[in-house]
Structure 1
Amino acid sequence: MGSGPTADGRPGAGGRAQGAAPRRASTRSVTLRDVAARAGVSAQTVSRVLRIPDEVAPHTRERVEAAIRESGYVPNLAARNLASNRSKIVATVVPSLGSELFSETLTGLSAVLSPEGYQLLLGYTDYDDEREEELIRSLLGRRPDGICLTGTVHRDSTVAMLRTAGVPVVETWDWTDSPVDTLVGFSNERAMHAMVTFLHASGYREPCFVGSLLAGDHRSLRRLAGFRRAVNALRPGREPRLVDASDQPLTLESGARLLDAARRAHPEADVLVFSTDVLACGALLAAGSAGVRVPGEVAVTGFGDVELARLVRPGLTTVSLPNARIGREAAALLLRRMRGGSPEVPALDLGFEIRSRESA
C-alpha cells in the first residue's frame, strides 16, 4: 500500500501531492509511433495503411490494423485536414429534427457522401430565419467543404454571407429561379395547386387549408400560396378557408385537435387539405375514433407521403415526394462542386406525384 505525503509536503513513495498534475503517461493519447512500435513497422507504414491501404502488403496491413484496434488509436483528422485544407465535413441545415421526410433526405445525403469520406454536421433552425443565419455563421466557422440547406428563402444577409464564404451550397425541398449556388427540389406551390385541382376534378368544391402560417415555415406558406391560387382559379370570388396550425406542435395529437377546430370553424368544408402528413394522419385517426366518416362526411388529404400515410385506414391521399432522392442528388451536386467542377444541370427539379387513396 503506497504511503502518503512526507512531512515537508513532498509526495511519498507511491503517492502524489494534492493538486499536482497527473503524469503524462496516464493522460496522453496513443500516437501513430505507438502503433508503429506495436506492429513492428515504421510510422510511415502506419500512415500509408491509414491513407492508402491498397498500396501496403496484405500481411503488413493486417498487422498494422490489429495494432490500431488493440491500442485504441484514433487518427488526428483535424491535423490531417488542416494540412490538406479540407475538413471533409458537409454542414447540413434542417428546420426540424423530428420529421421523417427530412430524415430520409439526410439518409440519401449520407449514402452518397460517406463512401467519399465526408461526414454530416447537422443543425436545425426550428423554422426561424434569424436562427438559420446564426447557425450558418457558426457552421461556416468550422470550415465545412460544403453546405446543404433546406428551403430557398433566406435572409439577404444570410445569402450574402454564403456567397462571400465561397463554399459550395445546395438548397433543397423547394424551388427558386435564383438559387444561392445549386438546387435540388420541387415546387411546393405547384404541388399544392395540383392537389386542389385534383380534388376539384374529383367533385370536392369546399376545400379548407389546414397548416402552419408561421413566418419562418416557408414551405407551408408556399403550399398555402398554391392552395389560394387554385381556389381563386376554380372558385372565383370565394375567400379561401384557412385553419392556422402555427401554435400546434407537429404531432398526431395536433392533427386530432385541428380536425375538431376545422369542422367547427368551417362545417361546410367537404375536404380538409393539410399541409403535412403528420397532421393529416392524426386527423384520420381521430375521425375513426369519433365515428366521423372519411370521406363520407369530410375528406382528408396530406403532403409528404410518409410511411404512416400508407398504413392508416382509410389510406391517406397525399402529395408524394422523392425524399431520399433529393438527398442523393444534392450530395452528387455538392461532390462535383467540392471537387472544383461545375454541374451540367445546377438546378434539378425532381417533381412530385398526387397519390390517390381512400381518404379523398
Structure 2
Amino acid sequence: MGVRDRLADAQPGGPEPAVTPGLEVVADLDPAADLEAAAAGPRLTRRSTQTVTLNDVAVHAGVSPQTVSRSIRAPELVSEFTLERVRSSIAATGYVPNLAASNLASNRSMTVAVLVPDVSASVFADALHGLEEVLGPAGYQLFLGSTGYRPSHEEDLVRSFLGRRPDGFFIVGTTHTERTTHLLRESKVPVVETWEMTDAPIDSLVGFSNHDAIRAIVEYAHGRGYRHPTFAGSLQTGDFRAAKRRAAFEETVAELFPGEAIRVVDSGTARVDLETGKALLHQARSLHPETDVLMFASDVFAAGAILEAGRQGISVPGDLAITGFGDFELARYLAPTLTTVSAPNREIGTVAGELLLQRMTHRSDDVRRVDLGFAVVARESA
C-alpha cells in the first residue's frame, strides 16, 4: 500500500501514519479517477445537474476521489473500514460508476460479444446461461447479437462489436465470410467458436461434430431394424450445421441402406417450434408414406410431432418411430419419451467461458480445441 493509501485509509481521529524521513508525499496517479473527473468536469455537482459524481461520493465519505475509485476497481487494496464507508456513501448518494472512464484507463471493456443465429432457440439460451454463469461473477457483461443465419449480417455485427472494443468473442459456428475471419484474426481479441468442429478455427474452439452425431443416430436406427428413414428439419440457407447434418444423413443412408431413396423434408424458414414439428410430421407422411423412422434435426420438432401423432392416433413407435436432436428436458417427459442425441448445450457455454476468462485475464495464453462429444440416448420413441 502506498503512502497516499495509508493517509486516505486512516480513520478520522486516529494517529497520523508514519512517513519515512526525506520521503516526499505526493498524490497517487489514478488514471480512472482522473478520466472520470475530467469527463464530469471540475465543478459538476448533483445540485447543478442532478448527476452524482465520484467527487460527491468522496465528500460524503470523507475520503479522496482516488480512494473511491480504488474501492470500486480494486477493493482488496482498501481497508475494510474505508471500504465500508465508501460503499455506504455510494448507496446513500445513488452513485453509478462511470465504467467508460475506468475501462479506458485499464484498456479493458469488461464485455464479451456473443453472436448466435437465433436468440429464441433454447439450445443457444442454455449455452448463454453457462457462459454468463462463468463470466458474470468475474464482472463481465454480454453483448448479444443475432445473425439470423446470414453470414453477411454476422460480418456487420462483428465490425460493429469491434468498434466497442470487447475483451472477447463467443460465436456459434465455424463458417464465416472471408472478411469476418480477417477482422477477428486481426483484432487479436480472444475468440471461441462453438457448436462445431473444424480443422481451421479462428482461435479457440468448443463443440462437437454435427456430422458424426447424425451418423450415430442413423446407425442406431439401422441397428434397431428400421429400413425407411426420413430426415426432417429446418435447412435454411446459412445454417451450415444443419447442412452438415443433412449431408451426414444422406451419406450414412447411402452406406447402410443401399438402394434406399434419400428422403428429406425441409421446413424452410419456419420457426423452430412445436407447430413446425406438427407440420413436418404431416408433410413427411404425405410425401413419404413408407417412412418407418422420422429423424428430426431438433427435439423441438420431434416433440411437436409426437404430440400431434397422439392426437391423430398414430402409434409411436408402432406405426412410426421418431428421433430428435439435443436432449432437451422435454424429451424425458413426452409420452413416449424421446430417443435423441444428447448435445452438451450448457457445457459449451461454461467451457467457452472458462477459456475466454483465462485469456482475457492473462492467466493463460493457450489456444485450445475442445471436443465435448455427444451421446445417443435410447428411449421409447424409437
TM-score (norm 1): 0.90
Runs of 5+ consecutive residues of structure 2 not aligned to the other structure: 1-44
Shift of 1:58: 2.3
Closer, same or farther: CA 26–250 of 1 in aligned 2, 3 Å: farther
Q: Which amino acid aligns with 1:36?
A: A
8 Å CA contact 2:46, 2:52 repeated in 1: no
Equivalent-residue separation in structure 1 for 2:48 and 2:344 (angstroms) = 52
Correspondent of 1:29 among 51, 56, 61: 51
Q: Which amino acid aligns with 2:356?
A: L
Correspondent of 1:323 among 341, 345, 369: 345
Equivalent-residue separation in structure 1 for 2:231 and 2:169 (angstroms) = 33
Q: Which amino acid aligns with 1:165?
A: S
Shift of 1:78: 0.6
Equivalent-residue separation in structure 2 for 1:323 and 1:208 (angstroms) = 25
Moved more, 262-271 or 214-223: 214-223
8 Å CA contact 1:108, 1:325 repeated in 2: yes
Shift of 1:28: 4.3
Match of 1:152 in 2: 174
Match of 1:358 in 2: 380
1:342 aligns with 2:365: yes
8 Å CA contact 1:256, 1:279 repeated in 2: yes
Q: Secondary structure, in 3 states, of the residue corresponding to 1:208?
A: strand
**1:19-49: CA deviation from partner (whole Å, max 9, x where unpaired):** xxxx983534211110111122222221222
Q: Secondary structure, in 3 states, of the residue corresponding to 2:206?
A: strand
1:175 aligns with 2:197: yes
Match of 2:103 in 1: 81
Closer, same or farther: CA 55–24 of 1 in aligned 2, 3 Å: closer
1:201 aligns with 2:223: yes
TM-score (norm 2): 0.85
Number of residue-to-residue matches in the alignment: 337
8 Å CA contact 2:296, 2:324 repeated in 1: yes
Paired residues for 1:245-256 under 5 Å: 245-256=267-278
Correspondent of 2:140 among 118, 143, 151: 118
Equivalent-residue separation in structure 2 for 1:290 and 1:129 (angstroms) = 40
Equivalent-residue separation in structure 2 for 1:245 and 1:167 (angstroms) = 37
Paired residues for 1:11-30 under 5 Å: 25=47, 27-30=49-52
Q: Which amino acid aligns with 2:123?
A: L
Match of 2:66 in 1: 44
8 Å CA contact 1:322, 1:350 repeated in 2: yes
Q: Secondary structure, in 3 states, of the residue corresponding to 1:357?
A: coil
Question: Considering only aligned residues, what root-mean-square deviation do their CA atoms show, in Å?
Answer: 1.5
1:269 aligns with 2:291: yes
Match of 1:291 in 2: 313
8 Å CA contact 2:230, 2:265 repeated in 1: yes
8 Å CA contact 2:228, 2:260 repeated in 1: no
1:311 aligns with 2:333: yes
Q: Which amino acid aligns with 1:217?
A: D
Shift of 1:338: 2.4
Shift of 1:225: 1.2
Shift of 1:117: 1.8
Q: Secondary structure, in 3 states, of the residue corresponding to 2:175?
A: coil
Q: Secondary structure, in 3 states, of the residue corresponding to 1:273?
A: strand
**1:62-103: CA deviation from partner (whole Å, max 9, x where unpaired):** 221111112110111111111111111110100111122111
Shift of 1:232: 1.0
Runs of 4+ in 1 over 4 A off after TM superposition: none
1:140 aligns with 2:162: yes
Shift of 1:184: 0.3
Equivalent-residue separation in structure 2 for 1:336 and 1:225 (angstroms) = 36
% identical aligned pairs = 54
Equivalent-residue separation in structure 1 for 2:74 and 2:165 (angstroms) = 25
Equivalent-residue separation in structure 2 for 1:250 and 1:312 (angstroms) = 18
Match of 1:212 in 2: 234
Runs of 5+ consecutive residues of structure 1 not aligned to the other structure: 1-22
8 Å CA contact 1:321, 1:351 repeated in 2: yes
8 Å CA contact 2:118, 2:147 repeated in 1: yes
Shift of 1:336: 2.8
Match of 1:4 in 2: none
Match of 2:119 in 1: 97
8 Å CA contact 2:181, 2:202 repeated in 1: yes
8 Å CA contact 1:212, 1:221 repeated in 2: no
8 Å CA contact 2:53, 2:95 repeated in 1: yes
Match of 1:129 in 2: 151
Equivalent-residue separation in structure 2 for 1:314 and 1:323 (angstroms) = 23
